[in-house]
Amino acid sequence: MVLKLYSDPRIFAGGGAIFVHVLAEKRIPFQHIPVSVADRQNTTPEYLAIQPFGQVPAIDDDGFILYESRAICRYLAEKYQDQGTPLLPQSLKERALFEQAAFIELANFHPYCQTVNDEAFGKPRRGLLTDQTILASAIALASGKLGVYETILGKHRHQSTGARPCRNLPSQTSSVSCTRIFL
Ligand SMILES: N[C@@H](CCC(=O)N[C@@H](CS)C(=O)NCC(=O)O)C(=O)O
């Protein structure tokens, strides 16, 4: 049965931005089941039975329900290990560096960029006022973290071309693609 993917109607929105990279890299066919947060479809009893926190995304893989976008990424990368782009390193040390990159994304990048995104774009879209103090503080914190990324990227120039592997990280970078920067 084809993988069912419950996510925002704009599939690339929110947590969807994280795992669509894995779906694409692994060439995994899926059925998109839109769950509109704007229309509160994430709070119906049917959806809460799938994702008890009422958040998107979630998947149903032939009856196996999984939520939390990064856990979904890990599951799909592992399940389709021999298909598409290899994403998970196998050796102990490479795996440790992968986990380091993944936790940096979660702890040092995502919270600040998510706040910037919500204050600058999410709130106005929902008809709310941006809190300029929170926005300025999150931008300052995010800039500091991105400065560290720049330093790390500067040390990891592309082996063959000398170019940096990735510049100007998008607002939501998947843990998996992030790993390529660190390995
Ligand atoms: N940690 C979760 C976060 C998911 C999340 O925050 N989803 C947002 C949309 S981007 C959501 O469903 N918000 C609705 C709500 O919390 O009521 C994940 O990565 O899957």
Ligand 1 atom closest to 43 (CA): 17
What CATH number is given for 3-79 in this structure? 3.40.30.10
**Reported pTM:** 0.81
Residue 69 in contact with ligand 1 by CB distance below 6 A: yes
Indicate the domain borders of the chain: 3-79, 92-182
pLDDT tens-digit profile of 149-178? 888 888 876 544 554 444 434 333 443 343
Ligand 1 atom closest to 13 (CA): 10
Helix (H/G/I), strand (E/B), else coil: 2: coil
Q: What average pLDDT does the structure give for the chain?
A: 85
Percent of the chain topping pLDDT 70? 84
Record the tokens describing residue 39, joined without a space.
């229309």
Distance 54 CA to ligand 1 centre (A): 8
The residue length of the chain stands at: 183
Nearest CA to ligand 1 atom 11: 55
What is the distance between the alpha carbons of residues 177 and 20, in angstroms, rounded to a whole number?
11
pLDDT tens-digit profile of 65-90? 999 999 999 999 999 999 999 999 99
Mutate to test the pocket of ligand 1, among 10, 44, 55 (most ligand atoms within 8 A of CB): 55
What is the distance between the alpha carbons of residues 170 and 45, in angstroms, rounded to a whole number?
34
Residue 114 in contact with ligand 1 by CB distance below 6 A: no
Residue 9 in contact with ligand 1 by CB distance below 6 A: no
Ligand 1 atom closest to 16 (CA): 10
The arrangement of secondary structure in 92-182, i.e. its CATH architecture, is Up-down Bundle (1.20)
